[in-house]
Amino acid sequence: MAGMDQPPAPGEQGQEHTWSATLREVKHQFCLYASFEQREEGGWVDLDPAETAAASDPHGSSLWPQHQWHAAFEILFALPPDAAAPKRDDMLFFVYLPWLHRKDPVLVRRRGKELPADLSLGGALAGDIDWRASALLSLVMHTRYTLTVMVSGPDGLSEDSDDQPLPPGAERVNLEAWPSTSRFPIDVDGNLAKGSQNPIPTYPDICFEVSTFDTVFKSQILRDGNTCYSVLLHARVEEWRCQKALAAPASHPGGPPHPPPGPKPKVCAFSGFVTQARMVEAGVMGGPLSVLGPRRAQRVLMNGPGGEGRAEVAVLRMLPPGQAREADRGKGPLQKLTRSLGQVVRQVASEVGAGKGGGGGPLELQCSLILLSLPVQSLTRSILDAL
């Protein structure tokens, strides 16, 4: 796509084809760049012109310079044809070059009929923008997502468990999730932290916050050591495929009774699980879960598979009313914090083995997902791999 310096005008013949071809080349460029990628404080760093020209695949394709990424951004997000592109967001997302050291590295503008003048090629701000990072971020931000949180036995674990029949005793919550390049500091009770009125930038991590976590997950309780708590994020990639390409082929007399299956409309961008026993053993801030008082939620941080992604979960120890009163008696915060590590470890090992809580009853944990955070590159890879 060496000649793709200027996007076609609205209404031009072949605009839909140009849009689809641009998206295909973005995928190719993403893969091509992977072996030459450098990171600096979460941003993308351009190679020098000589190295860019040398970095090519066996077919002779070279890495795009910034002006070509600018053209791709304009085609895909500023001037999308109705028949091909999703229109999920009327905002445009621009990433500043990393060496500018902006406090918030992402600039957001409302979409118009064309790019704002200061962000057009040669505009006052265009030279401050990393257009490759902006195109990839916009791909992520303009994608729809479904967040699935499930409590089940090991037999219920599957990347497709968001829409599969539930096994006996399983609990599942499906939510539409909205990506964000920032987050609000929320405590485990669902309240905004004191003195924190402004969102905190998180890019290059993308956050999926659940603002109603304190109510929507009340039925999700891990009741024994083998119960699994799983979190899945699915990206709805069908909207990135040209609608004509998605249309089922017409059936012909004598042909197969059903058309061949098309590509899946979604891709699993994140899947991770932890057992109740492992959650107790790992511990959280303030000590392992079995020595925390009931009715007091704690924030548990869980890393995703392979170290990619992080989930923040509010975990509340559940006990019957009588046992809860007994467990709280004589155990103030100071006494909990001064217990020796040896005492904690011995108690956890004993209670996990017996499947008991500190009050003698079953150790039941109510888990509420606060947010899921994933690197933008991980999400980009999942989306592009599915196209």
DSSP letters, 344-374, are: HHHHHHHHHHHTB-TTSSB-EEEEEEEEEEE
User: pLDDT-derived band of residue 188, with 50, 70 and 90 as boundaries?
Assistant: confident
- Cα 20 to Cα 111, 170, 247: the distances in Å are 20, 41, 15
Is residue 157 within 8 Å of residue 230, measured between CB atoms? yes
For residue 238, give the 3-state DSSP assignment.
Answer: helix
For residue 274, give the 3-state DSSP assignment.
Answer: strand
Greater confidence, 129 or 212? 129
For residue 265, give the 3-state DSSP assignment.
Answer: coil
pLDDT at 176: 93
| Interatomic CA distance for residues 126 and 131, integer angstroms | 9
Residues comprising the chain, all counted:
387
Model confidence over 221-278: pLDDT tens digits? 888 888 889 999 999 988 887 544 433 344 444 444 444 455 678 899 998 888 888 8
Task: Please report how many Cα atoms fall inside a 13 Å half-sphere around the Cα of residue 269, on the Cβ side.
Answer: 33
Greater confidence, 190 or 252? 190
Burial of 161 (0-12, 13-18, 19+ CB in 10 A): buried
Average pLDDT, the chain: 73
Greater confidence, 148 or 2? 148
Model confidence over 53-106: pLDDT tens digits? 445 555 556 889 999 999 999 999 887 555 555 555 688 999 999 999 999 999
First to last CA, the chain: 18
**Residue 383: φ, ψ to 5°:** -70, -50
Is residue 309 within 8 Å of residue 303, measured between CB atoms? yes
Q: Tell me: pLDDT of 39 over 50.
A: no
pLDDT at 106: 96
Q: Tokens 């070059």 — which residue? A: 97
Percent helix, percent strand, percent coil in the chain, to nearest 5: 35, 25, 40
Nearest to 293 by CA among 217, 353, 370, 357: 357
The percentage of residues in the chain with a pLDDT greater than 90, rounded to a whole number, is: 29
* pTM of the predicted structure, to 2 decimals: 0.75
| Interatomic CA distance for residues 381 and 27, integer angstroms | 9
Strands 182-183 and 171-177: unpaired
